[in-house]
């Protein structure tokens, strides 16, 4: 029996959402009015009947999470925030897609209050939603006790046909079904329209059968334009299903109420003026008035804040009782919610001497994870089916799995992502966005490229996600050019607010983790070797944490070699050979460009100083190195298959050859004459 109770203001509220969508996009002369108009009924039902959040306290931890995965409905997100009482005024709506407004072209986390994750690129949002759902399931399993159901929120996602076409959504949805995430409810705007026209031209698969095969519950509301009771019942049924995520197929008419409804003409272009007039007249609104919101609509939507405020007060009371019954768990949960790291956790980081045995930096990473995991319950790791190669699973930890599989439990701290790099990255963004969790994920560096869309959004969204990216150069050897990353480093170094680390030894690996974990608003990629690396004579965690430092110094040098990762020891070998020829050579290790660039100019000019030419060395593309060096040595093209030492020899990345190259650089600049100025000194 349905518990749906219609309201006399339902029709007016839905009409308001539709006319606001037309006005918002029309004033900006840019955007997508069609999807928000078609999704108006489900939006109204979800938020006025079900959604639990407190707009006046938007970071309340047990709030429901809402993700607008469909980037073509971005105006809808802002309309919801305004009507529900978040910090988004009517003037903000009118400033849609304007410079420095709170309503940018697509919703951005950390920019607009109430936005959980940054969406726009299709498929990312629903994949983030899987991460949000995993986070709730994990934290609930860890901290909930009998009589204290503290963490039990739902995650709701709206997605469109385009989201379902993107491969990343398939990866994430497949894993969500396996993990039995009953707290995840996705509403598919089944309007049969994409930018190219009717989806019949490219998208004719049976989505329902696909999601049933994934292990989801699939429901269908056939009249998403009018059937409010059907929408209500579908959401209610989805909430009752505890062992499967739910996909609600909501058949709608894109641009409902427009003269162009049901066509791609209303998909990505503003409605014409006469169409907006006709739309408003049809629903009984004054066509001469823009951005009109009747008082009864504000009153109706005030239920969101009223309900949320009461629920948060009840939750705070429950939390206070929990603190008395479980003081240790309360202290830890409160710390994690606040985002603070445990006091003194960094003391567990391994410290190395030059006499310690050489090890691959992927192994050094495993040693770090093993050391810090007991002190950092916030860590939730995983790998894309490369656990034994990435060395990302700490011994003694349990897998995050449904309990009935016998493979682990929701308390588990290690996720088996399967061969789903892009989905893994997008899910990790959702984990980070939820709060209380620091996700780290593993794959080969070359295959982080599969996940580039998610990595880019992590940087834009300020998500602290750590990528453990092993097999980071031609040093992986026999797997050859298909697996050897050449262009990958410069790709990711070019992304703003992304820390790409390539540590040269144990202390630098510890430093990479130190800075990555302390960088609350920056994702990191740790580029790690397969081959063993010697521990350096003068490396320290403190120095490496600056992103760059002098690992071998000389006075009145003739040359500086700057290198990263496995090539630092080669640079040191070359420096020794040059010294024997009377050519004083400094060596600089530059494990992270971003962090080095954030150091004071005075420090950077001490490290990469004027007076002698600087030669960069890296077994990757040389692109970008002109920023730090006068001359560059690296790979001119693809790598090669073979034992790694032979591959290094083939490309001249050896101590002997770099000494020859270094001598040529010194002779060239001596012949040129004049002062050699640091490449860091620029006009602006």
DSSP 627-648: GT-SEEES-SS----S-HHHHH
The catalytically annotated residue of 116, 421, 554, 618 is 421
**CA-CA distance, 545 to 534, in Å (whole number)?**
19
- Say which residues have a Cβ less than 8 Å from residue 100's Cβ, sequence separation at least 6: none
Tokens 């802002």 belong to which residue?
A: 78
**CA-CA distance, 261 to 271, in Å (whole number)?**
10
- In this structure, what token pair is assigned to residue 17? 């959402």
Q: Does residue 421 have an active-site annotation? A: yes
Helix axes 421-434, 124-143, angle to 10 degrees: 50
Taking phi first (over 0 means left), then psi (-120 to 50 degrees means alpha), and beta for anything else, what does residue 669 get?
alpha
CA distances to 226, 370, 401, 437 from 377, in Å? 47, 12, 17, 8
Four-CA torsion 563, 567, 573, 576, nearest 10 degrees: 0
- With 0-12 / 13-18 / 19 or more C-beta atoms within 10 angstroms meaning exposed / middle / buried, residue 281 is exposed
DSSP 181-242: -TTEEEEEEE--EETTEEGGGT--S-HHHHHHHHT-EEEEES-TTT-HHHHHHHHHHHHH--
- In this structure, what token pair is assigned to residue 493? 């170094």
Nearest to 427 by CA among 645, 141, 178: 178
Q: Per DSSP, what are the bridge partners of residue 359? A: 533
**CA-CA distance, 70 to 77, in Å (whole number)?**
10
- In this structure, what token pair is assigned to residue 273? 């003026």
CB 448 within 8 A of CB 621: no
Burial 345-383 (b: 16+ CB within 10 A, else e): bbebbbebeeeeeebbbbbbbbbbbbbbbebbbbbbbbb
Nearest to 569 by CA among 620, 543, 531, 513: 531
**CA-CA distance, 426 to 422, in Å (whole number)?**
6
Neighbours of 337 (CB within 10 A): 16
**CA-CA distance, 531 to 510, in Å (whole number)?**
18
- In this structure, what token pair is assigned to residue 627? 């920023």
**CA-CA distance, 65 to 53, in Å (whole number)?**
8
Q: Please identify every residue annotated as catalytic.
A: 421
């Amino acid at each position: 029996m349905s518990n749906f109770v219609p309201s006399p203001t339902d029709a007016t509220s839905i009409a308001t959402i539709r006319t606001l969508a037309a006005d918002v996009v029309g004033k900006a002369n840019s955007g997508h009015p069609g999807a928000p108009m078609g999704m108006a009924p489900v939006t109204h039902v979800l938020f006025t009947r079900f959604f639990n959040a407190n707009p006046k306290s938007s970071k309340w931890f047990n709030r429901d999470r809402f993700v607008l995965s469909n980037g073509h409905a971005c105006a809808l997100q802002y309309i919801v925030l305004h009507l529900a009482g978040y910090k988004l005024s009517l003037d903000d709506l009118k400033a849609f897609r304007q410079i420095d407004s709170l309503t940018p072209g697509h919703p951005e986390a950390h920019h607009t209050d109430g936005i959980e994750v940054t969406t726009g690129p299709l498929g990312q949002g629903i994949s983030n939603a899987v991460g949000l759902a995993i986070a709730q399931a994990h934290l609930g399993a860890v901290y909930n006790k009998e009589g204290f159901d503290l963490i039990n929120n739902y995650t709701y996602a709206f997605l469109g046909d385009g989201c379902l076409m993107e491969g990343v959504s398939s990866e994430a949805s497949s894993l969500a079904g396996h993990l039995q995430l009953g707290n995840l409810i996705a509403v598919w705007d089944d309007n049969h329209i994409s930018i190219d026209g009717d989806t019949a031209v490219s998208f004719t698969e049976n989505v329902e059968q696909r999601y049933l095969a994934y292990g989801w519950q699939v429901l269908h509301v056939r009249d998403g334009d009018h059937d409010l009771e059907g929408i209500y019942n579908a959401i209610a049924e989805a909430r009752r299903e505890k062992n499967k995520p739910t996909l609600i197929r909501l058949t709608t008419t894109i641009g409902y109420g427009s003269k162009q409804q049901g066509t791609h003409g209303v998909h990505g272009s503003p409605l014409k003026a006469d169409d907006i007039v006709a739309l408003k007249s049809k629903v009984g609104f004054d066509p001469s008035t823009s951005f009109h919101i009747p008082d009864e609509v504000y009153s109706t939507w005030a239920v969101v804040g009223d309900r949320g405020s009461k629920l948060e007060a009840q939750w705070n009371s429950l939390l206070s009782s929990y603190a008395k019954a479980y003081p240790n768990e309360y202290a830890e949960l409160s710390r994690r919610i606040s985002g603070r790291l445990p006091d003194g956790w960094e003391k567990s980081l391994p410290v190395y001497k030059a006499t310690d045995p050489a090890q691959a930096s992927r192994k050094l990473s495993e040693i770090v994870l093993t050391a810090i995991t007991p002190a950092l319950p916030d860590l939730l790791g995983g790998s894309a089916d490369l656990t034994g190669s990435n060395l990302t699973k700490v011994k003694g930890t349990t897998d995050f799995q449904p309990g009935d599989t016998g493979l682990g439990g929701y308390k588990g701290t290690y996720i088996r992502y399967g061969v789903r790099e892009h989905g893994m990255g997008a899910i990790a963004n959702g984990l980070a966005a939820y709060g209380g969790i620091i996700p780290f994920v593993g794959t080969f560096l070359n295959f982080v490229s599969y996940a580039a869309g998610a990595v880019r959004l992590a940087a834009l969204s300020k998500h602290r996600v750590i990528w453990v990216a092993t097999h980071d150069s031609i040093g992986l050897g026999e797997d050859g050019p298909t697996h050897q990353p050449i262009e990958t480093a410069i790709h990711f170094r070019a992304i703003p607010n992304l820390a790409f680390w390539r540590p040269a030894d144990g202390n630098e690996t510890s430093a990479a983790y130190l800075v990555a974990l302390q960088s609350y608003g920056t994702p990191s990629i740790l580029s790690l070797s397969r081959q063993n690396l010697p521990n350096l004579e003068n490396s320290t965690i403190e120095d490496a944490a600056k992103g760059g430092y002098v690992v071998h110094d000389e006075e009145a040098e003739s040359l500086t070699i700057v290198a990263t990762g496995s090539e630092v020891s080669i640079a040191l070998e070359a420096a020794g050979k040059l010294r024997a020829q009377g050519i004083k050579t400094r060596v600089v290790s530059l494990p992270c460009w971003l962090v080095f660039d954030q150091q004071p100019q005075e420090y950077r000019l001490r490290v990469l100083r004027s007076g002698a030419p600087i030669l960069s060395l890296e077994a990757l593309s040389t692109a970008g190195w002109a920023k730090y060096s006068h001359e560059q040595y690296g790979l001119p093209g693809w790598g090669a298959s073979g034992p790694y030492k032979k591959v290094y020899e083939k490309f001249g990345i050896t101590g002997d050859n770099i000494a020859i190259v270094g001598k040529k650089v010194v002779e060239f600049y001596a012949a040129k004459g004049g002062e050699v100025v640091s490449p860091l000194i620029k006009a602006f």
